[in-house]
Amino acid sequence: MSTRNLPAYPLPVPVDDHLLRRLSTMEEIWRQAGVIALLLCAMFGFGLWSLGSGFLLGGFVTSGWTAVGRLLGLEPRPWTAEMARQLKVIADSDDIECCDYPDMVWTHDSVRCSGCGTKHLDMLRPALGRQRPDGAMGFVRVLIDDGHPHQESSVDGSD
């Protein structure tokens, strides 16, 4: 699925059908990555059994860890059906009365009306697969975060 219907990376995302389809696609890709990791684990395991290389041991351990974590639900998903359901309720709601022309957008930390700024839902936005302006470092950051929303932390521990 293309991201051409979504705005550029740091901008808020409109809460509409494109976003809901993107969330379900990202959830499916995340789940399929566990199956691919399981296949890689089997290949690395066979190679380790037949060749006994340290590189193969590393591949076996990392792919096995990923497969077990994703397929058994040990890792929290960055995109969930519950998240999509909450956004669908907001997208389909006709009784939002925060301003004359409510237009819901998903900022980095909440769902807000773009017209008046009223917060309607507290929910961090995970990575949606949009191209990032920070290039390779942005790609590395998304890989490390595994799609989970980036949470800014303050020095004193308060929000």
Q: Which residue has the tokens 């890689």?
A: 40
* pLDDT at res. 14: 92
- Averaged confidence pLDDT in the chain: 83
**Domains in the chain: boundaries:** 13-122
Does residue 58 or residue 146 have the better pLDDT? Answer: 58
Task: Check whether 137 has a pLDDT greater than 90.
Answer: no
Q: Residue 157 contacts by C-beta under 8 Å, 6 or more apart in sequence?
A: none
The two tokens of residue 93 are 């709601």
Q: Which tens digits make up the pLDDT trace of 37-67?
A: 999 999 999 999 998 888 899 999 999 998 9
CB 111 within 8 A of CB 15: yes
Task: Check whether 155 has a pLDDT greater than 70.
Answer: no
* pLDDT at res. 151: 66
